[in-house]
Amino acid sequence: MDTRGIAPRQDMVREIANLLLAKRGERPTQLVGSKWVYNYIQRTPDIAMRFSRQYNYQRAICEDPVVIQQWFDRVQQVILQYRILAEDIYNFDETGFAMGLTSTSKVVTRAEYYSKRRVIQPGNREWVTAIETINSSGWALPPTIIFKAKMFNQAWFSTIPRDWRLEVSENGWTTDAISLDWLRYHFLPLTKGRTHGKWRLLIMDGHGSHVTAQFDDLCAENMVIPICMPPHSSHLLQPLDIGCFAVIKRAYGQAIQSKLRYGVNHIDKLDFLATFAAAGLVPFNAQRVIDKLDIKLRTPTPPSSSGSSTYVPHTPYKPTDIHRQASSIKALLRQRLYTPPSPAK
pLDDT at 288 (0 to 100) = 85
Q: Let me know whether 277 and 151 are in one domain.
A: yes
pLDDT at 279 (0 to 100) = 83
Q: Let me know whether 82 and 133 are in one domain.
A: yes
The CATH number covering residue 91 comes to 3.30.420.10
Q: Is residue 123 one of the residues assigned to a domain?
A: yes
pLDDT in tens, 65-97: 888 888 899 999 999 999 999 999 999 988 876
Q: Is residue 197 one of the residues assigned to a domain?
A: yes
Q: Let me know whether 88 and 222 are in one domain.
A: yes
Arithmetic mean of pLDDT over the chain: 73
Q: Let me know whether 16 and 162 are in one domain.
A: no
Q: Let me know whether 286 and 165 are in one domain.
A: yes
Q: Are 215 and 99 in contact (CB under 8 A)?
A: no
Q: Let me know whether 73 and 192 are in one domain.
A: yes
Q: Give the chain's domain count.
A: 2
- Has residue 32 got a pLDDT over 70? yes
Average pLDDT over residues 181-202: 96
Give the span between the Cα atoms of 78 and 76, in whole angstroms.
5
Nearest CA to 94 out of 162, 152, 143, 157 is that of: 143
Q: Are 243 and 271 in contact (CB under 8 A)?
A: yes
Tell me which residue range forms the domain holding 34: 2-44
Q: Which residue has the higher pLDDT, 18 or 261?
A: 18
Choose the final residue of a domain: 290, 321, 340: 290
Q: Which residue has the higher pLDDT, 177 or 8?
A: 177
pLDDT at 7 (0 to 100) = 62
Q: Are 129 and 245 in contact (CB under 8 A)?
A: no
Average pLDDT over residues 55-73: 70
Q: Is residue 304 one of the residues assigned to a domain?
A: no
- Has residue 142 got a pLDDT over 60? yes
Nearest CA to 47 out of 104, 4, 2, 6 is that of: 2
Q: Are 288 and 56 in contact (CB under 8 A)?
A: no
Average pLDDT over residues 215-243: 83
The percentage of residues in the chain with a pLDDT greater than 90, rounded to a whole number, is 17
* 75-81 contacts at long range (C-beta below 8 A, 24 or more positions apart): 75/203, 75/227, 75/281, 75/284, 76/284, 76/286, 78/201, 78/225, 78/227, 79/201, 79/284
Q: Let me know whether 36 and 155 are in one domain.
A: no
Determine which of 30-34, 95-99, 170-174, 263-267 has the lowest per-residue pLDDT on average. Answer: 263-267
- Has residue 228 got a pLDDT over 60? yes
pLDDT category, 13, cuts 50, 70, 90? confident
pLDDT in tens, 300-342: 555 554 444 455 666 666 666 676 777 777 676 666 555 555 5
Q: Is residue 98 one of the residues assigned to a domain?
A: yes
Q: Let me know whether 8 and 80 are in one domain.
A: no
Q: Is residue 49 one of the residues assigned to a domain?
A: no
Q: Are 209 and 41 in contact (CB under 8 A)?
A: no
Q: Is residue 10 one of the residues assigned to a domain?
A: yes
Q: Is residue 213 one of the residues assigned to a domain?
A: yes
Q: Let me know whether 33 and 104 are in one domain.
A: no
Choose the final residue of a domain: 290, 306, 326: 290
Q: Which residue has the higher pLDDT, 302 or 10?
A: 10
pLDDT at 269 (0 to 100) = 58
Q: Are 108 and 13 in contact (CB under 8 A)?
A: yes
Q: Is residue 247 one of the residues assigned to a domain?
A: yes
Q: Let me know whether 122 and 27 are in one domain.
A: no
Q: Let me know whether 109 and 141 are in one domain.
A: yes
Determine which of 20-29, 34-43, 138-147, 269-278 has the lowest per-residue pLDDT on average. Answer: 269-278
Angle at alpha carbon of residue 163, lines to 184 and 275, rounded to 5° = 80
Average pLDDT over residues 127-138: 88
pTM, two decimals, is 0.56
pLDDT category, 272, cuts 50, 70, 90? low
Q: Let me know whether 166 and 260 are in one domain.
A: yes
pLDDT at 25 (0 to 100) = 77
The percentage of residues in the chain with a pLDDT greater than 70, rounded to a whole number, is 61
C-alpha separations of 221 from 78, 200, 216, 217 in Å: 17, 12, 9, 6
